[in-house]
Structure 1
Amino acid sequence: MQQKNTVIAGALLYASISCALLWPSQDAAAQIGSRFPSERKVVIDPVTGTPLTFLTSQAKGDSKIYQTHPQWTADGQWLVFRSNRVAGEAMAVHEATGVLVQVTEGGYAGMLNLGQSSQTLYFLRPVPGEKPADGKPSPRAMQAVVVDLATLFADSAAGKLQPAAHYQRVIGELPAELEAGGDSALDADEQWLYFRVGAKQSAPHLPPGSKIEAAFGPRGMGAGPTGIGKISVKTGEFKHVVSVPFQVGHIQTNTWKPGELIFSWETGGKSPQRTWTVQSDGSGLRPLYPESSHEWVTHEAVISKDEVALAIMGHRPIPGVQVAGPADTEVGGANPGQEAAWGNAGTREKPTGLAIVNLRTREMTIAGQTPSGSGLWHVHGSSDGRWAVGDDFSRSIYLIDRKSREMMLLSTGHKTTARDHPHPTFSPDGKKIQIQSAMLAEDGKSMNICIVPVPESWLQGQAQ
């Protein structure tokens, strides 16, 4: 998030960077496919000894795709990320060589969606040339766009780039009345692109008698109604998926199972019921993990065909109990969620930690939890079911062996002053984790794209 710490302090659940509208600067000269020299370097973590591969190392405003979405291209060779190397445009970095390539032209809005069976990139962006009335924020007509990354990378390597239209195709346009935006997500079969829609589109589809939820918590967010819509990537046809009486956030798909969606009730903090799931035809709407009022659930991420990881936070002091030491200092200051207005949620009077929910059996298990401090915050796991990973308020990365329940501090020193949090995400092969880190930042804020390996000793133990 390109925000100061005072803003970060109020944003435990709300990843505003995933919803930001981004346009290129007027003087941006680089076109789609432009190449930039490698910045790749390996740094040894001074505390844990873990070799960290920084795929970017300059202060260029980098940030990774949110951990709810794929990070690697379908061939496993490139990672796509946000950057200010060309203002408002997305970049890709080749993991082995460090070569950087611009992969959008004309800007994008919100989430970047990588195909997992084809070398493609999907996103929304405002219709070019259209501006809000009187310069005020208002709904915008949006385009759904797909980029042919395979052709783009090949032409970029050959030095034979074509105009942007050769690589980017507009799938269809979404009228302003839909209020389309926020997180978008690509279905597993790459047939539909999902996105949030506003009250005007959602209200008529609510069941009769639905109670419209008001804002919840001190950030004044969470009010409904909103919903989810989808656009066909083949025909540009729009269809309504579901309406809910609250604010939809963090839409994601099960990238192993077509037609299955996960989303959240977004309040900017504790939600009455954070996690939800629904099918692409609108059926099967239900809470993913039914939570209690004392539970602070956040940062859910689909990690395999049948599983979703989420954090049950243990970051707040128990009212009336004074505890001296690191547990107090690690959650204070610039870290969010301490406001009394959030109620009694988020303390360790009840079980907390990195939870894994099975979509089929609905059973939940807790894979692990830090002994003190904030507890695990942004979480993910390997698709083979072996590993889980999470960060905490100190921006440290913890790896969990789900079989033995052993947990190790994998990497630290990523700076609490950073503009955003590490957001660890496992690679498809389960052998490495992508994070964003301010470890190299002279200003303590600027972030870079970094790969953290699962230790070889743990991988060998898995083989045995």
Structure 2
Amino acid sequence: MKNSLLPFLLILLTAGTTATAAEFPTEWVDPATGHRVVQLSREPGTHSLYFNQNAYTPDGRKLIVTSPSGISTIDLATRAIELVVPAPATVIVVGHKTGAIYYSKREGAENWIYAADPETKAIRKLVRVPRGGVATVNADETLMAGTFSAVDEEHGWQRGGAADKTDKKRTIGQAEYTAKWPDGTPMVFAEAKEYRLHEQLARIHAEPPRSLFTLNLTTGEVRVIHRESEWLNHLQFSPTDPGLLMFCHEGPWHEVDRLWTIRTDGTGLTKVHTRTMNMEIWGHEWFGADGKTIWYDLQTPRGEVFWVAGYDVATGRRTWYALDRNEWSVHFNVSPDGTLFAGDGGDREMVAHAPDGKWLYLFRPHGIPDVAGIKAPNAAGLIHPGRLVAEKMVNLSSHNYKLEPNVTFSPDQKWLIFRSNMHGATQVYAVEIAKAK
């Protein structure tokens, strides 16, 4: 190890004061789990990407992160960090085919899409986003998808939409997640967030319909493929099928039918999950690496019974893996080969109200076998249940969950990558899946 945990503890004991960032180790073995943890980033305020955004180059060598300096790569073998795109720039995703880093950048009142080569750092200016915003690129990197509001039916697509107040960003900042009960008692952060999202959803339902569109990265052509009076969010293209797009109805999960797919020609609108009980919720969905399965957090009902659920895109086959309350995670993920899952835990205020949930987890799925090999008469149409067997990887007791860790697997499946504020400033970390020797 570059730094051992013992000197770090001695510093705290002898100093008698709070440790500074320089005094925290950048590599250690977690004494509670026996797994090696490495701090990959160096600049305070460095973030890994959201859990469902591809952040790795196709060769598996480099991880893309963001920081106050801009968009950088981290070589997973050498840990070398290189700035590729100086700030300001908003990262979107890393292309599965070419490895280009797609990002957006404001130029006056206009929003442009760029692509940066993570190796040569060459930058290409691609197309302008006439209105709204884009959030994902398809598997062959020909299309992006996004949403906008208040389309003028008579005059069609309205250029220069940056000044249109109906296109304002719908994300509420953490500082705004405050609310009170009727008696004046403050809500905890998670409850306040739910309440404010409910208010936001009500406002959106009262406004003109939202539109889901594709943007051609060569010609700049915009095509509206779907329109409805819902808060459309979490757009994700399939990593393997260029014509398949997943999106959600945003808002409090028990108020919406969250999960949908659609083809890029506007056909094939499909609701992936249907509620069967009051307060049943599902969300934080993502595609498996092969594009065959959509996975999501499922609770039947909310905050009581916890599953990681899978939906086979081609056949509709459903798999539900059960897990315990403490193992519920803000976000889950699956390994590139589909054999392992991971979760980033949660604190007491979150939906599971877990008394001991602040851990980074590795899960091994185990299906429930047929007794004596005898299947149910209609087994093909039933849910295929199982359980996730958990292994604790990192103690996150010092992590503030207003920052979501957003765990992902490294392409070689040897590490879990996450972001954390456990030592103060946000940094990007990796924990080795194999136990430390």
TM-score for the superposition, normalised by structure 2: 0.71
CA-CA distance at 1:422 after TM superposition = 1.1
Q: Unpaired runs of 5+ in structure 2?
A: 1-23, 157-169, 171-193, 348-357, 368-387
Shift of 1:149: 2.3
Determine the structure 1 residue equivalent to 2:287. 302
- TM-score, normalised with respect to structure 1: 0.67
Which residue in the other structure is 2:429 paired with? 450
Q: Is the 8 A contact 2:127 2:218 kept in 1?
A: no
Report the counterpart of residue 381 of structure 1 in structure 2: 334
TM-superposed deviation, 1:143: 0.9
Distance 1:455 1:247, change over 3 A: same
1:48 lines up with 2:49 in the alignment: no
Report deviation, 1:388: 1.2
Work out the CA distance in 2 between the residues paired with 1:195 and 1:203.
21
Letter aligned with residue 364 of structure 1: R
C-alpha deviation, 1:204, in angstroms: 9.9
Counterpart selection for 2:223 from 231, 234, 239: 239
Q: Alpha-carbon deviation of 1:307?
A: 0.9
Q: Residues 298 and 313 of structure 1 are in contact (CA less than 8 Å); yes or no, is this contact kept in structure 2? A: no
The partner residue of 2:119 within 141, 150, 165 is 150
| Structure 1: stretches of 5+ with no match in the other structure | 1-38, 131-140, 153-166, 206-214, 315-344, 458-464
Q: Retained in 2: the 8 A contact 1:78–1:93?
A: yes
User: Which aligned runs of 4 or more in structure 1 are off by greater than 4 angstroms?
Assistant: 201-205, 215-218
Instruction: Name the residue aligned to 2:400.
Output: 417
TM-superposed deviation, 1:125: 2.3
Instruction: Tell me how far apart the structure 1 counterparts of residues 245 and 229 of structure 2 sit (CA, whole Å).
Output: 17
Asked if 2 retains the 8 angstrom alpha-carbon contact of 1:217 and 1:270, the reply is no
- Tell me the CA shift for residue 430 of structure 1: 3.3
Cα offset for 1:96?
1.8
Q: Aligned residues: percent identity?
A: 20
- Return the alpha-carbon distance in structure 1 between the equivalents of residues 318 and 396 of structure 2: 32
Q: What letter is aligned with 1:412?
A: N
Which residue pairs with 2:319 in the alignment? 365
Whole-angstrom CA distance in 1 between matches of 2:104 and 2:149: 15
Report the secondary structure of 2:398's partner residue: coil
Task: Give the equivalent residue in structure 2 for 1:290.
Answer: 274
**1:398 positional shift:** 1.8
Q: Conserved in 2, the CA contact under 8 Å of 1:119 and 1:150?
A: no
Distance 1:93 1:270 in 2: 39
Secondary structure at the counterpart of residue 151 of structure 2: helix
Deviations 1:149-177 (A, max 9, x none): 2322xxxxxxxxxxxxxx222211122xx
Cα shift at 1:296: 2.0
Root-mean-square deviation (Å):
2.8
What is the DSSP-based 3-state SS (H/G/I as helix, E as strand, rest coil) of the residue aligned with 1:455? strand
Counterpart amino acid of residue 140 in structure 2? D
State the distance in 2 between where 1:203 and 1:352 align: 47
Cα 1:83–1:118 change in 2 (3 A) is: same
1:117 matched residue in structure 2: 97
Match of 1:230 among 198, 214, 232: 214
Aligned residues of 2:93 and 2:103 also touching (Cα < 8 A): yes
Deviations 1:219-242 (A, max 9, x none): 312325222222222222222222
Task: State the shift of 1:414 in Å.
Answer: 5.5
Q: How many residues align?
A: 339
Q: AA paired with 1:64? A: S
**Counterpart in 2 of 1:402?**
365
CA distance in 2, matches of 1:298, 1:203: 36
Q: Is the 8 A contact 1:81 1:91 kept in 2?
A: yes
* Alpha-carbon spacing, 1:418–1:297, altered in 2? closer, same or farther (3 Å): closer
2: CA distance, partners of 1:201 / 1:149 = 39
Secondary structure (helix, strand or coil) at the match of 2:55 reads: coil
Q: Determine if contact 2:399/2:422 at 8 Å carries over to the other structure.
A: no
Q: Is the 8 A contact 1:221 1:266 kept in 2?
A: no
Aligned-partner SS, 1:150: coil
